[in-house]
Amino acid sequence: MKIKIRYFASLRDIVEQSEEWLTVPDNAYIADVRTLLLERYPRLQPIMDRSVNAVNHSYVPAETELHDGDEVVFIPPTGGGC
Amino acid sequence: MEPIIQLTHQPLDRAALVEAVSHPSDGGIVVFEGIVRDNARGKQVHYLEYEVYEEMARQQIAQIIAEAQQRWQIEHVAVAHRFGRLEIGEASVIIVVATPHRSEAFDACRYIIDTLKNTVPIWKKEVATNGEAWVEG
Mark yes or no for CB contact B123/A58 under 8 Å.
no
- The tally of domains found in chain B comes to 1
Q: Using alpha carbons only, what angle is made at residue B112 by residues B106 and B113, rounded to the nearest 5 degrees?
A: 95
pLDDT, position A46: 96
Mark yes or no for CB contact B117/A77 under 8 Å.
no
Whether pLDDT at B137 is above 80: no
Q: Kindly identify which residue of chain B lies nearest to residue A6, measuring between CA atoms.
A: B53
pLDDT, position A82: 76
Whether pLDDT at B43 is above 80: yes
Q: Kindly identify which residue of chain A lies nearest to residue B39, measuring between CA atoms.
A: A82
pLDDT digits (tens, 9 = 90+) for B52-103: 999 999 999 999 999 999 999 898 999 999 999 999 999 999 999 999 988 9
Q: Is residue A81 part of a domain?
A: no
Domain that holds residue A68: 2-75
Q: What percent of chain A has pLDDT over 70?
A: 100
Q: Please state, in angstroms and rounded to a whole number, the distance separating the CA atoms of residues B91 and B86.
A: 8
* CATH number of the domain where residue B73 is located: 3.90.1170.40
Residue B41 Cα, gap to closest chain A Cα (Å): 14
Nearest to residue A43, comparing CAs of A21, A11, A73?
A11
pLDDT, position A81: 81
Whether pLDDT at B129 is above 90: no
Helices B54-71 and B102-119, interaxial angle, to 10°?
A: 150
- Residue B44's DSSP bridge partners are B39
Nearest to residue B35, comparing CAs of B58, B17, B14, B16?
B14
**What is the ipTM score, two decimals?**
0.94
Domain that holds residue B45: 4-135
Binding-site residues on chain B for chain A (CB distance < 8 A) = 34-37, 50-53, 55-57, 59, 81, 92-93, 113, 116-125, 134-137
**Which phi-psi region, left, alpha or beta, contains residue B100 (left: φ > 0; alpha: ψ -120 to 50)?**
alpha
Q: Is residue A27 part of a domain?
A: yes
pLDDT < 70 positions in chain A? none
* CATH number of the domain where residue A52 is located: 3.10.20.30
- The tally of domains found in chain A comes to 1
